[in-house]
A and B are shown apart, each in its own frame.
Chain A
């Protein structure tokens, strides 16, 4: 049994990409598959340096289609495997991720969002929300964690393997180019020392015994013959998904127990600016609340409805043209009196707390 990479706690000063590589190491990942694309390359640069020291593996594939499918192969072989990508690479991974949805394969993919559509910028955006939550030709049977800082990148990368292997839905960490490259201190730890039960992997193929003799052979497929057969499978997955959702939904609120005239809703790194804005505005006597979904899938629907029912307006801030807002609107549907939505959309551009405060003051 290989030595643990970290015992106790280790404080370090790192970039987000490095945090992901180290978190994967601490989570016990056996193998990473990947293809170069900015801004996630340092995940691979660091994983390849850690590999020989810790007895893990790495494969550089010919492209992201392959990276996605090789990851599925590794997972089905029973190993903890993941890949990382961004932008156009994420587009290519949709095909493999639909296979993961259909076959309930516990894949983990780290996405460091960059500008879109197409090649756009290599820097930053929140424009891969639609694709990561609802991409491919599926029904969105995915888990997506939207992180906001380095400590979360560490914590949730480890968590994503447990979520994936426990519930068997493809799981994503949705970061961005800013988180990937910014430097910050982080506390790394061995999850088991902190009481986090690591969910064991198990092979889909290659279970012990000779197939046909000691056990039934494993026959896996993702195609179906008739419509009703498909419907049955998909509805069963929906039931599983709905059952799992309350166990893994995560969100954050601030100042919502008090009177609120407006609720600021955001995710990922933008929520840091939103939280700072709310704190400042409260000090200035304004009645503002903060709501941040941490899981974009499953979305904290009733939790958002609860907070949204207390306000007349919500401000949705995102570095995209309404991709997150679309999830918000869907979540608000069915409310007796849904609040008015004010939009602060900056596609591909970072949003500061000053901008959020300015917009809030304009509409109140």
Chain B
């Protein structure tokens, strides 16, 4: 069964980190996998810088080369033609969708997104972000996104992440999930955070390795 997943979410919610980790995981399962960089609003942490690293893991990356865009004076919120046709590639596809006032509508830019039967749109939520820090805020935010098939609980506070925070976050996410009737696909945890997990979760835990801090500009 083909896996096509689009990761959307608020600015700095962790979409790219989750998307990259998911691609790495699928590559390790020996699946043919392509990851597509669809960050179109002032991209600064982008897949461009991780291309070589990801290629080495057997993951194809559709993204601009940094050198192709540098020297143009502005960041380049440009769509590469191959991004438009990404869904036509065989194998699995992970789409890293940047932030923006239009939410998941970026998918309009991909040929076939509207009719792709395998496409799943996952909203990455970090309750440590100030605009999505309470149940009400998360619900309000989800309403702006359009179609969402699953939630990813990527809650953390960077170095300040505490056990208390993680537990509260997961409680809130479970409440949200029930209210909007959208399942939590996974809770993501870094190695440091794993030590804080005490409760048992009813949904998968995805271990997260940090890649994106090497991807700045």
Q: Of A12, A22, A41, A188, which one neighbours B42 at CB under 8 angstroms?
A: A41
B74 is an interface residue with CB less than 8 A from chain A: yes
| Contact assessment for B11 and A15 in the assembled complex, using a CB-CB cutoff below 8 Å | yes
Given the contacts A11-B160, A15-B11, A38-B74, A185 and B216 also touching, CB distance less than 8 Å = no
If A10-B133, A15-B11, A42-B42 touch, whether A185 touches B74 (CB-CB below 8 Å) is no
**Is B153 on the interface with A (CB-CB < 8 A)?**
no
Q: Which of A115-123, A197-205, A256-264, A353-361 contacts B (4 or more CB under 8 A)?
A: A115-123
A139 on the B face (CB < 8 A): no
Contacts of A39 in B (CB 8 A): 42, 44
Min CB–CB distance A126 → chain B (angstroms)? 16
B residues near A188, Cβ cutoff 8 Å: 130
- Report the minimal beta-carbon distance from B117 to chain A, rounded to whole angstroms: 35
Docked pose: A39 CA to B73 CA in angstroms = 12
Contact partners of A152 in chain B: CB under 8 A: none
Chain A: minimal CB distance from B135 (Å): 15
Q: How far is the CA of A119 from the CA of B130 in the complex (A)?
A: 32
How distant is B36 from chain A, measured CB to nearest CB, in Å? 22
A15 touches which of B12, B73, B160 (Cβ 8 Å): B12
Q: Does A182 contact B (CB under 8 A)?
A: yes
In the bound assembly, the distance between CA atoms of A184 and B159 in angstroms comes to 8
List A contacts of B44 (CB < 8 A): 39, 123, 181
Chain A min CB distance to B107 (Å): 21
B211 part of interface (Cβ distance < 8 Å): no
Among candidates A18, A122, A181, residue contacting B74 with C-beta atoms closer than 8 Å: A122
A12 touches B128 (CB 8 A): yes
Q: Does B217 contact A (CB under 8 A)?
A: yes
Say if the beta carbon of B157 comes within 8 Å of chain A: yes
- Give chain B residues whose Cβ lies under 8 Å from the Cβ of A49: 131
Inter-chain contact A183/B42, CB cutoff 8 Å: no
In contact, A12 and B216 (Cβ under 8 angstroms): no
Is the C-beta of A333 less than 8 angstroms from some C-beta in chain B? no
CB distance A42 to B128 under 8 Å?
no
Interface status of A51 (Cβ within 8 A of chain B): no
A119 with B128: CB separation less than 8 A: no
B127 to chain A, nearest CB (A): 9
Most-contacted residue by chain A among B45, B70, B129, B130 (CB, 10 A):
B130
Chain B: minimal CB distance from A282 (Å)? 23
Q: Which residues of B contact A42 (CB under 8 A)?
A: 11, 42
Given A12-B128, A14-B12, A14-B129, answer yes or no on A123-B217 (Cβ-Cβ < 8 Å): yes
Chain A residue with Cβ nearest B43:
A181
Give Cα A345–Cα B159 distance, bound, in whole angstroms.
31
Rounded to whole angstroms, the CA-CA distance of A11 and B129 in the bound complex is 9
Supposing A39-B44, A188-B130 touch, asked if A11 and B74 sit within 8 A by C-beta, the answer is no
How many A-B pairs with Cβ below 8 Å? 68
How distant is the Cα of A184 from the Cα of B45 in the complex, in angstroms? 13
Contacts of B156 in A (CB 8 A): 13
- How many chain A residues touch the partner (CB < 8 A)? 29
Please name all residues of chain A whose beta carbon is closer than 8 Å to the beta carbon of B128 when the two chains form the complex: 11-13, 185
Minimum CB–CB distance from A3 to chain B (whole Å) comes to: 15
Contacts of A120 in B (CB 8 A): 73
Contact status B216-A182, CB under 8 Å: yes
Interface check B34, CB cutoff 8 A:
no
Nearest chain A residue, comparing its CB with the CB of B126: A13
Residue-wise interface mask of B (1-27) relative to A, using a CB-CB cutoff of 8 A (1 in contact, 0 not)? 000000000011000000000000000
Whose C-beta in chain B lies nearest to the C-beta of A5?
Answer: B130
Whether the pair B158, A184 counts as a contact (CB closer than 8 A) is yes
Among the listed A12, A41, A121, A178, which residue makes an inter-chain contact with B133, where contact means beta carbons less than 8 Å apart?
Answer: A12
CB distance from B165 to the nearest CB of A (A): 8
A22-B130, A42-B11, A49-B131 are contacts. A185–B157 as well, Cβ < 8 Å? Answer: yes
Tell me how far the C-beta of A251 lies from the nearest C-beta in chain B, rounded to whole angstroms. 26
On whether A13 and B42 interact (CB within 8 A), knowing A38-B74, A122-B74, A183-B12, the answer reads no
Nearest Cβ in chain A — how far from B33, in angstroms?
26
A12 and B75 within 8 A (CB): no
Residue of B nearest to A150 (CB): B158
Q: Which residue on A lies nearest to B159, using beta carbons? A: A185
| Smallest CB gap from B156: residue in A | A13
Known interface pairs A22-B130, A42-B42; A12-B157 also in contact (CB < 8 Å): yes
How near does chain B come to A185, taking the closest CB pair, in angstroms? 4
Q: Are A122 and B73 in contact, CB atoms less than 8 angstroms apart?
A: yes
Q: Which A23-51 residues have C-beta < 8 A from chain B?
A: 38-39, 41-42, 45-46, 49
Give 7 pairs: A residue, B residue, CB < 8 Å, sorted on A.
A12-B128, A12-B130, A13-B129, A13-B157, A14-B129, A46-B131, A120-B73
Chain A positions within 8 Å of B, measured between CB atoms, are 10-15, 18, 22, 38-39, 41-42, 45-46, 49, 119-124, 178, 181-185, 187-188
